[in-house]
Structure 1
Amino acid sequence: MIKIIPFLVLGLTTLHAAEPKSTKPNIILVMTDDQGYAPVGAHGHPWIRTPHLDKMHAESIRFDRFMMGSTCAPSRAGIMTGVHSIKNGVTHTIYERERVNLKAITLPQVLKPAGYTSGYFGKWHLGDEDPYQPENRGFDEVFIHGAGGIGQAYPGSCADVPGNTYFNPVIKHNGKFVKTKGYCTDVFFKATLGWIQSVKDSDQPFFAYLSTNAPHSPFVAPPKYQKYFEDLGFHPRSAGFYGMIEHIDDCMGQMFKQLEEWGIMDNTIVIFTSDNGTTTSGNGLKGKAGRPQVKLGTDKDGKAMMSYNAGMKGLKGTVEEGGVRVPFFVRWNGKIKEGRTVEKLVTYLDILPTLADIAGAELPTSQAFEGRSLKPLLLENDPDWKDRFHFQHVTRWNRGEDPDKFKWKNYSVRNQRFRLVGDALYDMRNDPAQNKDVASEHPEVVSEMKKAYEKFWDEARPLMINDGVPLAKEKPFHVDYKAQKASSGIPDWKAPTLKWEESYTGGPTGAEKPEKKGRKKRK
């Protein structure tokens, strides 16, 4: 189990003799953006084609009650620190409220003394100002876009390279901007594998965190994937969303093939997940309740292709089950029993302590980690597992508003059996679709959950350090990109030499429109 020792936060120089690499597994964490639980064939989706994720599902332990936050930056903050987002100051996705507390100890900083080198690829969204960037939070290799989406820009510091697009995007690579060629998801997978190729034969185990921006809006897939769904009658928006997911699946297949050719799968843990529930727009479902189903297109046999949310209530931006439940597949060849489904309630706060436990890393006592190691559930058939409460809050109050006014709004408490949403209680074991409020039948459960939540809020309230701070006057990605372009130019990215089937090799399609500054729709 995890050992707890004192830890010096500022220096992060606690030294331990590294164990031989063979005793420490490599770790690859792949997280998609806004995909959610339902759009995976193995989760009962009636028509989406995800053969590689389905194969991974069959070869993995599947945590079928895995809970994230309700939106992007909060989930990422909890993964990165093992502490709930609002205890890290993350209460939004913009307005400087997406920035993780600089005093927080991060996952790569925990793994570093255990001998790990770490790389981050794709979407960061935990602060665009220099001190918050991943290279200053423990990562050795960094390959990211800015803001919460490619091309986004909002009031304050949160912004990507101006005018950036999903095709041939400009990326910040270890502090310098480079111009890539191809579709963004291909680029992020290739960058991840290129870095793995460079470190796989060293004496250090590696941790690679690949966070795709797809299938986040704007919903534009590589042309052949987009065309497939549009030809079936899908609206271009939905065609882009589902096309991006099928393309991610193809990239997962190519990644596994490359890892197997390198012969490192037996000593590599691969995890697949998503950052929150399914998006409210691209998937075709109307309204945050996720009901009713709608017709998206017609298959080759003339059968209607209906939207699907695995029977759950809620989508991204809610604290209903469908807003926070996501896939969580863990494949570890020869170490875990394939094809096993775990029904225990687990959460994104468990990722850091789990990886630390597996890596033999020691958790510093200076941070109050809230998660729990999943190692017993991974390696044992039926370990003791004490039930607990998991707290969720959408936290999307407007800038300048008093958070305490929202204490009892848009919150939820979940344990193994029940989900409390406001004053409504749902028996998730017997009513997973949340059709019947059973609060009157279990008043003692409601009371216990509300008391626990109030204690959690009171602990978290003083830690919401980003609420009320002034907005930055400059956008670092804009300023630094323009300065580099004027001084030395933006060089082409030197893509790694890999066996990779590109989804797109042309110029920008013109089909996408970056999210503009000040738009109300946020990520």
Structure 2
Amino acid sequence: MEQKPIRKNISLRFEFCSTYVSSADHFTYMRNVNNDKGSGLDLHNHTRLSLNPAWDGIGHYSTELLTRKAQDVIRRHAKSEKPLFLYLPYLAVHDPIQVPERYKEPYKDLIPDEERLTMAGMINCLDEGVGNVTDTLKEIGLYDNTVIIFSTDNGAATQISGNNWPLRGLKSTPFEGGVHGVGFIHSPLLPDQIKGTTSHAWMHVTDWFPTILSGLTGGEINTMKLIDGIDVWKAIM
């Protein structure tokens, strides 16, 4: 794949819609802090010129809401010649374990544990969301020039029905069950010989930034100070 350097002095349009902290109710976005001595809405719409609470998001399930926001960004970008970087960190599957009932229906006869059933529904909704975002890229003609990176951030929290078997440990521990994650890269731009292959090589989450900036887009990182991670794009390819 031809690598072109990032253009100098490129103008950036910044948008943000999500929560500030690690978790909140998936429908109300209310977050209790300091042992319930204070609470507030933790859902925000930001641009470079405004900082606003996203009151209109209340009542909409987080995965579906963030999917629609992502689709809106993609559609508005359709006629732009500038590159698009979209970071979509869903709140699923993170506690509290919540999901609309319809996403649990396919598994009700398979999973007797209610919390585990709800988590399966959350994953079902997440899978649908990723599919809808991908379909939107195809709809407006960006898919063929897009690289999709899907990755977890840590191992599962077993105290809320997560499962890291056969690895030992859980989220927030240094054992492999807590720090060993999986992910995939999908793109029509990838060479045919590596499509469908699996790599067991190690990388760290901090490697994504230099890998995307340098390996994928051809930008320079050797002038940056205190950068964490290394460019592993050649290993991926």
TM-score relative to the length of structure 2: 0.81
TM-score relative to the length of structure 1: 0.39
Q: C-alpha displacement at 1:374, in angstroms? A: 1.4
Task: State the one-letter code of the partner of 1:334.
Answer: L
Question: Cα 1:367–1:218, aligned 2, differ >3 Å: closer, same or farther?
Answer: same
Q: Are residue 352 (structure 1) and residue 209 (structure 2) matched?
A: yes
Task: State the one-letter code of the partner of 1:173.
Answer: N
Q: C-alpha displacement at 1:201, in angstroms? A: 2.0
Partners of 2:151 and 2:184 within 8 A in 1 = yes
Q: Are residue 328 (structure 1) and residue 186 (structure 2) matched?
A: no
Partners of 1:316 and 1:324 within 8 A in 2 = yes
Task: State the one-letter code of the partner of 1:269.
Answer: V
Q: C-alpha displacement at 1:191, in angstroms? A: 0.3
Partners of 1:274 and 1:326 within 8 A in 2 = yes
Matches within 5 A, 1:277-288: 277-283=155-161
Matches within 5 A, 1:126-205: 140-150=14-24, 151-155=30-34, 161-162=40-41, 171-174=43-46, 175-178=51-54, 179-180=56-57, 182-205=60-83
Figure out how many residues of one structure are paired with residues of the other and give that number.
Answer: 220
Counterpart of 2:151 in structure 1 is 273
Take 2:7 and 2:33, find their aligned partners in 1: how far apart are those partners?
34
Task: State the one-letter code of the partner of 1:321.
Answer: E
**Residue ranges of structure 2 left out of the alignment (5+ in a row):** 25-29
Counterpart of 1:369 in structure 2 is 227
DSSP 3-state at the match of 2:231: coil
DSSP 3-state at the match of 2:186: strand
Question: Cα 1:190–1:114, aligned 2, differ >3 Å: closer, same or farther?
Answer: farther
Take 2:221 and 2:97, find their aligned partners in 1: how far apart are those partners?
40
Counterpart of 1:36 in structure 2 is none
Partners of 2:77 and 2:84 within 8 A in 1 = yes
**Identity between Structure 1 and Structure 2 (%):** 25
Return the match for 1:316 from 171, 192, 203.
171
Q: C-alpha displacement at 1:205, in angstroms? A: 0.1
Take 2:169 and 2:69, find their aligned partners in 1: how far apart are those partners?
34
Partners of 2:23 and 2:91 within 8 A in 1 = yes
Partners of 1:356 and 1:362 within 8 A in 2 = yes
More strand, by proportion: 1
Q: C-alpha displacement at 1:219, in angstroms? A: 0.6
Take 1:310 and 1:116, find their aligned partners in 2: how far apart are those partners?
46
Question: Cα 1:361–1:112, aligned 2, differ >3 Å: closer, same or farther?
Answer: same
Partners of 1:277 and 1:324 within 8 A in 2 = yes
Counterpart of 1:235 in structure 2 is 113
Return the match for 1:342 from 182, 195, 199.
199
Take 2:11 and 2:213, find their aligned partners in 1: how far apart are those partners?
11
Q: C-alpha displacement at 1:363, in angstroms? A: 2.2
Partners of 2:75 and 2:136 within 8 A in 1 = no
Take 1:262 and 1:377, find their aligned partners in 2: how far apart are those partners?
31
Take 2:195 and 2:167, find their aligned partners in 1: how far apart are those partners?
26
**Residue ranges of structure 1 left out of the alignment (5+ in a row):** 1-21, 26-110, 119-139, 165-170, 286-308, 380-523
Larger radius of gyration: 1
Partners of 1:145 and 1:160 within 8 A in 2 = no
Take 1:271 and 1:183, find their aligned partners in 2: how far apart are those partners?
23
Question: Cα 1:332–1:227, aligned 2, differ >3 Å: closer, same or farther?
Answer: closer
Partners of 2:168 and 2:177 within 8 A in 1 = yes
Question: Cα 1:284–1:265, aligned 2, differ >3 Å: closer, same or farther?
Answer: closer
Q: Which 4+ runs in 1 deviate beyond 4 A?
A: 22-25, 111-114
Task: State the one-letter code of the partner of 1:172.
Answer: H
Q: Deviations over 1:63-96 (max 9, x none)?
A: xxxxxxxxxxxxxxxxxxxxxxxxxxxxxxxxxx
Q: C-alpha displacement at 1:329, in angstroms? A: 0.7
Q: C-alpha displacement at 1:282, in angstroms? A: 2.8
